[in-house]
Chains A and B, each alone.
Chain A
Amino acid sequence: MKPKTLEKHSYTFMLLGLMAVVLLFFTVLKGAMLWKGDVWLGIAMQFPEYGVVTLGLMFCFICGKMDMSFMALGDFATIMAVQYMAAHADSPAGGVILVGILIALGIAVVGGLINGLLVSELDIPPVMATIAMQLVWTGLSVALTSGNTVKGLPALYTEIGHKYLLGFLPVPLLIFLLIFALCWFLLNHTVYGEKLYMVGTNIKAAQFSAINTKRMVVGTYVLCDVICCIGCLLMVNTMASAKADYGTSYVMRCILILVLAGVLPDGGMGKIGNVLIAIVTIQIIATGVNMFPNLNTYYASLIWGGLLLVVLVLNTRMGQGGLFGLKLPRAKKA
Chain B
Amino acid sequence: MSEYLLQMTGIDKRFGGVHALDNVNFAVRPGKVMCLAGENGCGKSTLVKIISGVYTRDAGEITFEGQPIHHITPAEATRLGIQVIYQDLSIFPNLTVMENLAINSEITAGRKIVNRKRWEQTAREALSKIGYDIDLYAKMGDLSVADKQLVAICRALLFNAKLIIMDEPTTALTKKEVDALFKTVRQLRDSGIAIMFISHKTEEIFEISDDVCIMRNGKNVYSGETKDLTKRDFTFYMTGRELVDDYFVPTNISEKPVLQVEHLTWKGKYEDVSFDLRKGEILGITGLLGSGRTELALSLFGLGKVDGGTIALNGKPVKITSPIQAQKLRIGYVPEDRLTEGLCLRQPIADNIMLSSLKQLTRALGTIRHDELFDKSNEWVSKFSIATDDAHKHASTLSGGNQQKIVLSKWLNNDLDVLILNGPTVGVDIGAKQDIHALVHELANQGLAVIIISDDLAEVVVNCNRVIVMKDGRLVGEMTGDRITEDNILDIIR
Please report A residues at the B interface, Cβ cutoff 8 Å. Answer: 189-195, 197-198, 201-202, 204-212, 268-269, 330-331, 333-334
Interface string of B342-360 (1 = CB under 8 A from A): 1111111001100110100
B344 near A208: Cβ-Cβ < 8 Å = no
Alpha-carbon gap, A66 to B323, bound state (A) = 26
Asked if B341 and A208 sit within 8 Å, CB to CB, the answer is: yes
In the A-B complex, list the 5 residue pairs whose CB atoms are closest, starting with the nearest.
A201-B344, A210-B327, A209-B356, A209-B355, A210-B323
Complex interface: chain B residues within 8 A of A212 (CB): 322, 324
Instruction: Please name the residue on chain B nearest to A207 by beta carbon.
Output: B323
Rounded to whole angstroms, the CA-CA distance of A90 and B345 in the bound complex is 59
User: Which of A194, A204, A333 is B358 in contact with, Cβ under 8 Å?
Assistant: A194
B352 contact set on A, CB distance < 8 A: 198
Task: From known contacts A195-B358, A209-B356, infer whether A268 and B344 are also in contact, taking CB-CB under 8 Å.
Answer: yes
In the bound complex, do residue B347 and residue A268 qualify as a contact, i.e. CB atoms below 8 Å apart? Answer: yes
> Does B305 belong to the interface (CB within 8 Å)?
no
A333–B348 contact, CB under 8 A?
yes
Across the interface, which residues of B come within 8 angstroms of A208, CB to CB?
301, 303, 323, 333, 335, 341-342
B351 near A198 with CB under 8 A, answer: yes
B354-393 at interface with A (beta carbon < 8 Å): 355-356, 358, 361-362, 365-368, 370, 373, 392
With A192-B366, A210-B323 as given contacts, are A330 and B346 in contact (CB-CB < 8 Å)? Answer: yes
Q: Does B151 contact A (CB under 8 A)?
A: no
Q: Do A191 and B368 contact each other (CB < 8 Å), given the known contacts A210-B324, A210-B326, A330-B394?
A: yes
Contacts A/B (CB < 8 Å), 10 sampled: A197-B351, A201-B346, A205-B344, A206-B355, A208-B301, A209-B410, A210-B324, A330-B346, A333-B348, A333-B392
A191: chain B residues at CB < 8 Å are: 358, 361-362, 366-368
Cβ A205 vs Cβ B342 within 8 A: yes
Contacts of A333 in B (CB 8 A): 348, 392
Nearest A-chain residue to B342, judged by Cβ: A205
| B117–chain A nearest beta-carbon distance, Å | 40
What is the size, in residues, of chain B's interface with A at 8 Å between Cβ atoms? 34
Verify A211–B355 contact, CB threshold 8 A: yes
Please tell me if the beta carbons of A189 and B323 are within 8 angstroms of each other in the complex. no
Closest CB of chain B to A330's CB: distance in Å? 5
CB distance from A2 to the nearest CB of B (A): 14
> Which residues from A are CB-within-8-Å of B342?
205, 208
Name B356's contact: one of A193, A194, A210 (CB within 8 Å).
Answer: A210
Q: Is B340 among interface residues, defined by CB-CB distance under 8 A? A: yes
Minimum C-beta distance from A217 to chain B (A): 15
B361, A204: Cβ atoms closer than 8 Å:
no
Q: Name the A residues within 8 Å of B368 (CB-CB).
A: 189-191, 193-194
Partner of B367, one of A190, A202, A205: A190
Q: Which residues of B contact A202 (CB under 8 A)?
A: 340, 343-345
Closest chain-B Cβ to A323's Cβ sits at a distance in Å of: 17
Cβ < 8 Å to A, chain B residues 200-231 = none
How far, in whole Å, are A76 and B346 apart by their CA atoms in the complex? Answer: 38
Asked whether B355 lies within 8 Å of A198 as measured between CB atoms, the reply is yes
B365 (CB) vs chain A CBs: closest residue:
A190
Report the nearest A residue to B338, measured CB to CB: A205
Which chain B residues border A209 with CB–CB below 8 Å? 323, 355-356, 410
**CB within 8 Å of A: which of B395-421?**
410
Shortest B417–chain A CB gap in Å is 15
Query: Which residues of chain A come closer than 8 Å to B344, judged between CB atoms?
Result: 198, 201-202, 205-206, 268
Q: Which residue of B lies closest to A195 (CB)?
A: B358
Q: Does A331 contact B355, Cβ atoms closer than 8 Å?
A: no
Asked if A268 and B323 make an inter-chain contact with CB atoms under 8 angstroms apart, the answer reads: no
User: Within the assembled complex, what's the spacing in Å between the Cα atoms of A95 and B392?
Assistant: 50
Contact B351 A194, beta carbon cutoff 8 Å: yes
How far is the CB of A69 from the nearest CB of chain B, in Å?
27
- Give Cα distance in the complex from A212 to B328, angstroms: 13
- In the complex, what distance in Å separates the CA atom of A193 from the CA atom of B355? 12
A193 to B394: give the CA distance in the assembly, Å. Answer: 18
Shortest beta-carbon distance from A250 to chain B in Å:
29
Closest B residue, CB atoms, query A193: B368
Enumerate B25-61 residues with CB–CB distance to A below 8 Å.
none
In the complex, chain A residues whose CB is within 8 Å of the CB of B346: 201, 268-269, 330-331
Cβ–Cβ < 8 Å partners of A197 in chain B:
347, 351
Find the B residue at minimum CB distance from A215.
B324
A214 nearest CB neighbor, chain B only: B322
The distance from the CB of A191 to the nearest CB of chain B, in whole angstroms, is 5
Chain B proximity of A245: nearest CB distance (Å): 37
Q: Which residue of A lies closest to B344 (CB)?
A: A201
Residues of A within 8 A of B356 (CB): 209-211
State in angstroms the CA–CA spacing of A31 and B361 once bound together. Answer: 54
Closest to B355 in A: A209
Give the distance to chain A from B451, nearest Cβ to Cβ, in Å: 16
B322, B355, B356, B373 interface centre (most CB from chain A within 10 Å) = B355
**What's the nearest-Cβ distance from chain A to residue B294, in Å?**
13
- Residues of A near B348 (CB, < 8 A) are 331, 333
Q: Whole-angstrom distance from the CB of A320 to the nearest CB of chain B?
A: 13
Least distance between A269 CB and chain B CB atoms (Å)? 7
New A-B contacts (20) at CB < 8 Å, excluding given A190-B365, A212-B322: A189-B368, A190-B368, A191-B358, A194-B358, A194-B361, A194-B368, A197-B347, A198-B344, A198-B347, A198-B351, A201-B347, A202-B345, A205-B341, A205-B343, A205-B355, A206-B344, A208-B301, A208-B303, A208-B333, A268-B346
Q: Which residue of B lies closest to A199 (CB)?
A: B344
CA distance A189 to B371 in the complex (A): 11
Q: Which residues of A contact B345 (CB under 8 A)?
A: 201-202
Determine how close the nearest CB of chain B comes to the CB of A194; give it in whole angstroms: 5
In the bound complex, CA of A268 to CA of B324 (Å): 22
Find the residue from B322, B347, B356, B358 having the highest chain A CB count within 10 A: B347
Task: Return chain A residues, CB-CB under 8 Å to B367.
Answer: 189-191
